[in-house]
């Protein structure tokens, strides 16, 4: 494997630093093949992708492959440093401004750089997202390539209507317009050890590389994989501690069952009980430890098993 690292500069910042994107290129020893691009941390508080790419790099030192990988472990360095979802310079959601603009907000300028030096130079894209420093999540998206999404090995695959174009400006929509196969993996997060999620993320990428014939061997198929078309997001109306009563991620939950409770850290009162809004649901996002949460934050995501496909 040949490895090079390029820093693609964007701007001089007020504090004297240079902003930009650090991109790795890994060229396999087995000859020609596709260029697989993988990026992480478009949302600065979703750090699991950076763990996955570091561990993937270490694993690939001893796994021969064909083609090349382009890795962008930290797409939003300012958000990453502050553990904040949005770019701290302009408080903009980077994943709503693709393909970006050279004369736009700072995030639009960063998105334009990313589009030009990264997205436009890959044949397949995997965009790694996760829960934040609070909730934990576990599913992958089907956009324009079901086989690619299935190769993630996620138990739960989510096929949004109209290829997910309801959210303009995401990485996926920018890539869809170029007809490049793309999936988004949502994996990990929370106040828990990320190592098991990083290890699973590496396995997902290795399996995707088998699917793309970059690595020899049979693609691992997951027998219990399901495709859902609707996810219900549950947000609390009260803030405080969140205590989960729901089953683990990937397990079923009946309609009306308790997802969790909001407890006042001040008076110890129970402020709110959140219930599963779906008649037959499956857990996708949850708080696995007692975390703090504000009204309106992501508390739970439940997949609707009505009309599920296998």
Asked if residue 99 has a cis previous peptide bond (ω within 30° of 0), the answer is yes
Residues 108-147 that bind Zn ion (CB under 5 A): 129
Gyration radius of the chain's alpha carbons: 20
Q: In angstroms, what is the minimal distance from the CB of 158 to Zn ion? A: 13
Q: Which residues contact 217 (CB under 8 A, 6 or more apart)?
A: 210
Q: In angstroms, what is the minimal distance from the CB of 137 to Zn ion? A: 9
23, 28, 41, 43: which one contacts Zn ion (CB under 5 A)? 43
Closer to Zn ion by Cβ: residue 48 or 276: 48
How big is the site for Zn ion, counted in residues (CB under 5 A)? 3
Nearest CA to 283 out of 258, 252, 260, 243 is that of 252
In this structure, the strands spanning 35-40 and 231-234 are unpaired
Closer to Zn ion by Cβ: residue 142 or 263: 142
x-marked contacts with Zn ion along 76-115 as a string, rule CB under 5 A:
----------------------------------------
Distance CA 235, CA 296 (A): 5
Dihedral sign from CA coordinates of 6, 115, 135, 252: negative
Q: What are phi and psi of 65, to 5 degrees?
A: -145, 165
Of 36-44, 112-120, 166-174, 222-230: span binding Zn ion (CB under 5 A)? 36-44
Nearest CA to 160 out of 174, 149, 152 is that of 149
CA 90 remoteness from chain centre: 22
Tokens describing residue 155? 């138990």
Closer to Zn ion by Cβ: residue 43 or 150: 43
In this structure, the strands spanning 252-254 and 270-275 are unpaired
Distance CA 9, CA 21 (A): 7
* Residue 285 · residue 136 · CB < 8 Å: yes
**Residue 51 engages Zn ion in binding (rule: CB under 5 A):** no
Closer to Zn ion by Cβ: residue 65 or 298: 298
DSSP letter assigned to residue 197:
H
Q: In angstroms, what is the minimal distance from the CB of 80 to Zn ion? A: 12
Closer to Zn ion by Cβ: residue 181 or 189: 189
Q: In angstroms, what is the minimal distance from the CB of 152 to Zn ion? A: 16
By Cβ distance, which residue is nearest to Zn ion? Answer: 129
Closer to Zn ion by Cβ: residue 52 or 262: 52
Q: In angstroms, what is the minimal distance from the CB of 87 to Zn ion? A: 13
Of 2-10, 46-54, 198-206, 236-244: span binding Zn ion (CB under 5 A)? 46-54
Tokens describing residue 53? 């790419």
- Beta bridge partners, 283, equal 302
Of 41-49, 102-110, 115-123, 198-206: span binding Zn ion (CB under 5 A)? 41-49
Q: In angstroms, what is the minimal distance from the CB of 129 to Zn ion? A: 3
Closer to Zn ion by Cβ: residue 46 or 112: 46
Closer to Zn ion by Cβ: residue 46 or 138: 46
DSSP reduced 3-state for 288: coil
Closer to Zn ion by Cβ: residue 132 or 207: 132
Nearest CA to 68 out of 123, 112, 108 is that of 123
Q: In angstroms, what is the minimal distance from the CB of 295 to Zn ion? A: 21
**Contact positions toward Zn ion, by CB under 5 A?**
43, 46, 129
């Amino acid at each position: 494997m040949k490895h090079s690292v390029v820093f693609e500069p964007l701007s001089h910042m007020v504090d004297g630093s240079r902003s930009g994107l650090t991109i790795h290129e890994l060229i396999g020893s087995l000859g020609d093949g596709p260029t697989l691009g993988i990026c992480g941390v478009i949302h600065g508080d979703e750090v699991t992708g950076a763990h996955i790419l570091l561990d993937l790099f270490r694993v690939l030192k001893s796994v021969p492959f064909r083609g090349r990988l382009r890795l962008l472990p930290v797409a939003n360095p300012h958000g990453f440093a502050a553990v904040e979802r949005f770019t701290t310079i302009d408080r903009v959601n980077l994943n709503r401004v693709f393909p970006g603009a050279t004369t736009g907000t700072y995030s639009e300028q960063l998105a334009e750089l990313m589009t030009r030096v990264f997205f436009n130079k890959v044949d397949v894209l995997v965009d790694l997202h996760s829960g934040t420093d609070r909730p934990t999540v576990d599913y992958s998206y089907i956009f324009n390539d079901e086989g690619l999404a299935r190769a993630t090995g996620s138990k739960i695959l989510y096929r949004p209507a109209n290829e997910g174009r309801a959210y303009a400006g995401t990485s996926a929509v920018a890539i869809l317009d170029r007809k490049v196969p793309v999936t988004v993996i949502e994996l990990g997060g929370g106040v828990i050890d990320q190592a098991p999620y990083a290890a699973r993320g590496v396995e997902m990428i290795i399996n995707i590389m088998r699917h793309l014939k970059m690595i020899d061997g049979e693609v691992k198929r997951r027998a219990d994989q399901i495709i859902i078309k609707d996810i219900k997001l549950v947000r609390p109306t009260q803030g405080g501690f969140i205590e989960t009563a729901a089953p683990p991620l990937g397990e079923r939950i009946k309609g009306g069952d308790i997802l969790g409770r909001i407890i006042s850290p001040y008076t110890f009162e129970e402020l709110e009980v959140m219930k599963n809004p779906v008649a037959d649901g499956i857990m996708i996002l949850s708080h696995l430890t007692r975390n703090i949460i504000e009204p309106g934050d992501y508390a739970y995501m439940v997949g609707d098993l009505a009309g599920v496909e296998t």
